[in-house]
Amino acid sequence: MKKVLFKFLLVSMICVLALSLVACGGGNSGTSDSDSGLEAGEVEGGSEDGSDEAANGEDFVWFSAVPPAGFEIKSPGGTYTTIEFSQSIGGGNSAIIAPTFGAGNIASKLEDQLKSDTKTQGPDVKAGLFTWTTIDFTFNGHPSTIYMAQMTDDYVVYIHGWCIGPNDPTMLAFLESFKPSNDVEDMLGEAFNTSFPR
């Protein structure tokens, strides 16, 4: 079961990466015609004034977080494993915050990331529940950053900031609010099988 889940996670991560690359430079207009139709802060069954979401974050099956204001919430893969928050920044580019995960430990994942000569390790950032290891790179001419942390003994969480540079206040606020679910390893499997509303 673990081998099947690992293979599925690996394929999903590759799909998320490919879709994020396309979205960041793909001329996303920022409309929600083909997206989920949810704007940041809108949830099904949430409190009328949104105070619960603001305090506790919105539930995305395997994590909760406060969505950035003005960003659209969508899932290129159609499930809760490929959630991303995006906002058009002009010039055919979108700023994207894309949480994902992978089996392994932070040291090996960092080593893998730094094999690319276009990426450099940035300073650690303490935000929310984690001290995040950062990786800086440029995408479509925009500073971009990946934040990584050891989520459990067996899984690393990545928060990709496509076209979002280091120490961006929107990203830091998202990291402050990011919380894995209590039984996150079980919920990762559930996220694969839970369709994101379209």
Record the tokens describing residue 3, joined without a space: 């081998």
Could you count the other beta carbons within 10 Å of the beta carbon of residue 17? 15
Q: Answer yes or no: is 160 within a domain.
A: yes
CATH number of the domain at 172, please. 3.40.1000
Q: Answer yes or no: is 129 within a domain.
A: yes
Task: Measure the CA dihedral 42/45/51/56, to 10°.
Answer: -90
- 147, 133 Cβ separation under 8 angstroms: yes
Q: Answer yes or no: is 155 within a domain.
A: yes
Tell which wins on pLDDT, 187 or 53. Answer: 187
Instruction: State how many domains the chain has.
Output: 1
Q: Answer yes or no: is 197 within a domain.
A: no
Could you count the other beta carbons within 10 Å of the beta carbon of residue 22? 12
Record the tokens describing residue 41, joined without a space: 């802060």
Q: Answer yes or no: is 52 within a domain.
A: no
Strands 125-127, 120-121: parallel, antiparallel or unpaired by DSSP?
unpaired
Instruction: Report the predicted TM-score, pTM, of the whole model to 2 decimal places.
Output: 0.74
Residue showing tokens 């494993």:
81
pLDDT given for residue 118 in this prediction: 95
Q: Answer yes or no: is 48 within a domain.
A: no
CA distance 172 to 178: 10
Q: Answer yes or no: is 50 within a domain.
A: no
User: Domain containing 98: what range?
Assistant: 2-43+57-192
Convert the pLDDT of each residue in 98-156 to its tens digit: 999 999 999 999 999 999 999 999 999 999 999 999 999 999 999 999 999 999 999 99
**Number of separate helices (H) and strands (E) present in the chain:** 5, 11
Could you count the other beta carbons within 10 Å of the beta carbon of residue 168? 19
Convert the pLDDT of each residue in 81-96 to its tens digit: 999 999 999 888 999 9
Q: Answer yes or no: is 71 within a domain.
A: yes
Record the tokens describing residue 186, joined without a space: 């079980």
